[in-house]
Amino acid sequence: MTPAEAIAMAKENDVKVVDIRWMDFIGTWQHFSVPISEFTESVFEDGFGFDGSSMRAWQAIDNSDMIVLPEAGTAKIDPFFKVPTMAIIGNIHDPITQEAYSRDPRGIAKKVENYLKSTGIGDTIFVGPEPEFFIFSNIRYASEPHASFYEIDSPEAHWNTGDGEIPNLGYKIRPKHGYFPLPPADKYQDMRTEMMLTLENLGIAMECQHHEVASAGQAEIDLRFDTLLNMADNLAWFKYVLRNVAAKYDHTVTFMPKPLYGDNGTGMHTHLSFWKDGGPLFAGNKYAGLSDTALYAIGGIMKHCKALCALSNPTTNSYKRLVPGFEAPINIAYSSRNRSAAIRIPMYSGSPKAKRLEFRTPDPSANGYMAFSAMAMAMIDGIQNKIDPGDPMDKNIYDLPPEELAEMDSAPGTLEEALDALKSDHDFLLKGDVFTKDVIEYWIDYKMENEVKPVISRPHPHEFYLYYDI
């Protein structure tokens, strides 16, 4: 879509307001709105100015001016605003040099697509994430010097079998029994359908929606694969749509990886493949119908998995999901059909076009632009250096004897460990100037100072249970 076509689209839909959106460094959509009179072809070159020092982890106050340049092809009509509004995603630039801002996550995604082409390996990165989430009917939390607590609720939750609601009809979901139940146990069929169809109406291709394993409203809605940049844009829309549809029902959605103790956490299994000249590069005659290129890509993911986790599992809460016993893929291995491995080769179809790897460790707290880009860079590194992934693991890793399990490498156990891994293993991300030293160092520093240290320095409610009368 050209700027002229975006403007014509606005006129056809009687748009009164244009909403300019971009992704901040940590992974949250930001926005401001302008009247349609301000939306001329010149803004696609001149952009809109804003204060970069008021954004998390961006500019200092003495160097705060930044501009956002709308990208015409991202224009969509917002489905929630009362006044007809066009939403359009922008790229962040320096107002003086006009250069792309290195800490703009969307800019990083654009660079990795260009870098793949420059290597000659391929010309297209396809990404297909499976974001899970929870739908809750209520959430309360506080973190103060003298008190800390959280309380969540769901009409599906097993802990409500004894609730005093009249009538209490039962139909609650036991822990780990939430995979594919029909209504009335599944309370959110209609809500998930509205989420899925709203996304489809926005032009985002969807595959399916369903309840997930955990009690209390865990769900999954799968997006049909797309190119890396488009998929990162789609994931931003995905989170926005789900939150707003849930709010219409007086419910709330969270992408926190582990909001419930003792039940399954929330992942974002991510399917990845490289193509060139319209053909797939991952199909071949090797293990599970893969090519050497695909196996080397798997080798790259396995080699850099711990560092990748700093971007694909970027919260302290992420590592409450990555523990044994909850279908969490913590062991760095690959296999066909085996969901206990960090990397799975899906075998649903024999078509060469369907050949891909599924990286099962990521979760939806990730910034899609940065996480997908990092995964692609690891795959490129694996292909360039012909990294052998070793033998596949075609058995249930969770049932291995302790001595055999001890020999396997695993994902980090904490965000701090992941950040340490990224600190020592990030050269593969710097190729092609996709990520920069500044981005890596600032990401590590921000996460340590704003998330790791504040969490580890605070008493946990369970510590009072364990230690108050010690």
Confidence of residue 330 (pLDDT cuts 50, 70, 90): confident
Measured between alpha carbons, how far is 354 from 341 in angstroms, rounded to an integer? 19
Please give the residue that has the higher pLDDT: either 170 or 455: 455
185 within 8 A of 173, measured Cβ to Cβ: yes
Beta bridge partners of 221: 209
Examine the pLDDT at 326 and tell me if it is beyond 60: no
Tokens describing residue 260: 């419930």
Q: What does the pLDDT average to over 182-187?
A: 94
pLDDT at 93 over 70: yes
Residue 399 has pLDDT above 80, yes or no: no
Q: Write down the pLDDT at residue 327.
A: 61
Residue 324: strand, helix, or coil? coil
Rounded Cα gap, residues 421 and 306, in angstroms: 6
CA–CA distances in Å: residue 144 to residues 108, 150, 152, 456, 468 = 37, 12, 18, 14, 18
| pLDDT for residue 393 | 84
> Which CATH superfamily is 124-467 part of?
Glutamine synthetase/guanido kinase, catalytic domain (3.30.590.10)
The residue ranges of DSSP E strands in 59-157, in sequence order, are 65-70, 76-77, 85-93, 124-136, 138-144, 147-153
Instruction: Provide DSSP, 392-408.
Output: ---S-GGGS-HHHHTTS
Q: Which of 97-101, 105-109, 317-321 has the lowest mean pLDDT?
A: 97-101
Per-residue pLDDT, 415: 97
**Fold of the domain built from segment(s) 16-101:** Ubiquitin-like (UB roll) (3.10.20)
**Average pLDDT score over the chain:** 93
Q: Per-domain residue ranges for the chain?
A: 16-101, 124-467
- At 179 the three-state DSSP class reads coil
Structure tokens at 426: 């990030």
Q: What is the pLDDT of residues 401-460, one digit of tens each?
A: 777 767 778 899 999 999 999 999 999 999 999 999 999 999 999 999 999 999 999 999
354: helix, coil or strand? helix
Q: Residue 63: its pLDDT value, please? A: 72
Report, in angstroms and rounded to the nearest whole number, the Rg of the chain calculated over CA atoms: 23
Least confident of 196-210, 391-405, 426-440: 391-405
Distance CA 66, CA 93 (A): 6
As a whole number, mean pLDDT of residues 110-116 equals: 98
Query: Which two three-digit tokens encode residue 457?
Result: 């320095």
**What's the pLDDT score for residue 324?**
67
pLDDT in tens, 254-299: 999 999 998 999 999 999 999 999 999 999 999 989 999 999 999 9
Percent of the chain with pLDDT over 70: 97
Q: How confident is the model at residue 325 (pLDDT cuts 50, 70, 90)?
A: low
Q: What is the pLDDT of residue 337?
A: 67
Q: Is the pLDDT of residue 67 over 80?
A: yes
Q: Among 19-28, 111-120, 121-130, 326-335, which is the least confidently predicted range?
A: 326-335
Least confident range of 42-51, 55-64, 85-94, 155-164: 55-64
Catalytic site positions: 51, 130, 132, 212, 220, 269, 339, 358, 360
Distances in whole angstroms, Cα of residue 32 to Cα of each of 26, 88, 342, 357 = 18, 11, 39, 38
With 0-12 / 13-18 / 19 or more C-beta atoms within 10 angstroms meaning exposed / middle / buried, residue 424 is exposed
SS3 content of the chain, % helix, strand, coil (to 5): 40, 25, 40
pLDDT at position 64 is: 79
pLDDT score of 163? 85
